[in-house]
Amino acid sequence: MAKFNNVLLVEDDPITVLVCERIIKMTGFSEVVNTMGNGKDAIDFIKDKIGSDHNNLPDVIFLDINMPIMNGWEFLQHFDTIKEQLPKLPQIFILSSTVDPEDFKRAASYPTVKNFISKPLVKEHLDEISA
């Protein structure tokens, strides 16, 4: 049985998406993985679910920082404006390959961000989240 009903992966790199989807499903972390290639599509996805399908809102969001159209930081700013409409807040994890200490500080400044995970996503990361 999956630990979470629904995961939202916000990532623009197709190889990273493939690896993340595979590890999430193979470990039983979640059977449903929705992927969006940028923050705008992810916000639109969440807004759509708020209006029509609360049961399929994400329990966990893995969020890349550097993406086209709307990056991870912009996503977090927009998410803060809609989070009150959610029946429950998803756990948000920044998933990035950055080594910039400013990114770590910035992630910590968002109360909605649970943790910062360095790519690649591995089973141990998922085990920690599930614990």
The confidence score (pLDDT) of residue 52 equals 80
Structure tokens at 67: 């993406």
The pLDDT tens digits for 16-64 are: 999 999 999 999 999 899 999 999 999 999 999 987 877 789 999 999 9
Confidence check: pLDDT of 82 > 60: yes
* Order of all β-strands in the sheet with 113-118: 33-36, 7-10, 60-63, 91-96, 113-118
pLDDT of residue 2: 63
DSSP 55: G
- Identity of the amino acid at 70: M
| pLDDT band at residue 107 using 50, 70 and 90 as cut-offs | very high
- The secondary structure of the chain in percent helix, strand, coil, rounded to multiples of 5, reads 45, 20, 35
Judge contact between 61 and 90, C-beta under 8 A.
yes
Paired tokens of 28: 């039983």
Q: Is the pLDDT assigned to residue 110 strictly greater than 80?
A: yes
Tell me the average pLDDT of the chain: 94
Phi/psi at 94 (5° precision): -75, 130
Q: List the structure tokens of 110.
A: 């968002």
Local structure of residue 131 (DSSP, 8 states): -
Query: 105, exposed or middle or buried, with CB in 10 Å at 0-12, 13-18, 19+?
Result: exposed
Q: What pLDDT is stored for residue 56 in this prediction?
A: 86
